[in-house]
Amino acid sequence: MQTKTRMNIHMRVSSDLKKQIYIWMKKTNAVRILDQHNISYELIEYEVDESDLSATAVAKKLGQDVEQVFKTLVLRGDKSGIFVVVIPGNSEVDLKKAAKASGNKNAEMIAMKELLPLTGYIRGGCTAIGMKKAYPNFIDESCLLFDFIYISAGVRGMQIKIAPEDLISLTHMTVNDFTCSIL
């Protein structure tokens, strides 16, 4: 009868290397794209509350102003089809402004069930970086008021802190006013 032995292998790994391994394991497609383009960013994790995926809740968890935490919305235009608008977390998209800027007469938000098949991302984890297909991208002009903004890293629970100019350049975004006042 043959006996089986179990061998435990222990490696001494520095804490810096452990951090690098952990970060590497957590990288999303969006983060990998930023790395490929040598764009400076900071990856920030936060605890997800599935009952509140709002940008306001994310801003609170990050300890940041909601005006600096941007949300990614996917819209459908009557002429151009799918396009992406990134706006401050405390704002609502003005569909007329979005339609006009994207060369459409009308625009509407896509249905939630379409988000994953169209973009590869889920609600609360959608970002303009690394979507399944390259859609036209737009961002609200208020992003330029800040040295950096926060956007989703492509999964719930992770945000990217990035200079808006770098995001605009990478994703070929058009900058315009896309928000309406919330009363």
pLDDT tens for the 183 residues of the chain, in order: 554 444 444 445 455 554 444 444 568 899 999 999 999 999 999 999 888 988 999 999 999 999 999 999 999 999 999 999 999 999 999 999 999 999 999 999 999 999 999 999 999 999 999 999 999 999 999 999 999 999 999 999 999 999 999 999 999 999 999 998 664
Question: Do the domain assignments include residue 138?
Answer: yes
Query: Per DSSP, what are the bridge partners of residue 93?
Result: 179
Question: Do the domain assignments include residue 5?
Answer: no
Question: Do the domain assignments include residue 45?
Answer: yes
Give the structural domain span for 149: 15-180
Question: Do the domain assignments include residue 8?
Answer: no
Question: Do the domain assignments include residue 9?
Answer: no
- pLDDT given for residue 27 in this prediction: 81
Question: Do the domain assignments include residue 100?
Answer: yes
Question: Do the domain assignments include residue 2?
Answer: no
- pLDDT given for residue 180 in this prediction: 85
The CATH number linked to 143 is 3.90.960.10
Question: Do the domain assignments include residue 41?
Answer: yes
Q: Pick left, alpha or beta for residue 112 (phi over 0 → left; psi -120 to 50 → alpha; otherwise beta).
A: alpha
- pLDDT given for residue 12 in this prediction: 52
Helix (H, G, I), strand (E, B) or coil at 152: strand
- pLDDT given for residue 4 in this prediction: 47
Q: How many residues can be counted in the chain?
A: 183
Q: Structurally, how many domains does the chain consist of?
A: 1
pTM above 0.75, yes or no: yes
The sign one gets for the Cα dihedral 147, 143, 127, 57 is positive
Question: How many distinct helices (H) and strands (E) make up the chain?
Answer: 6, 10
- pLDDT given for residue 14 in this prediction: 52
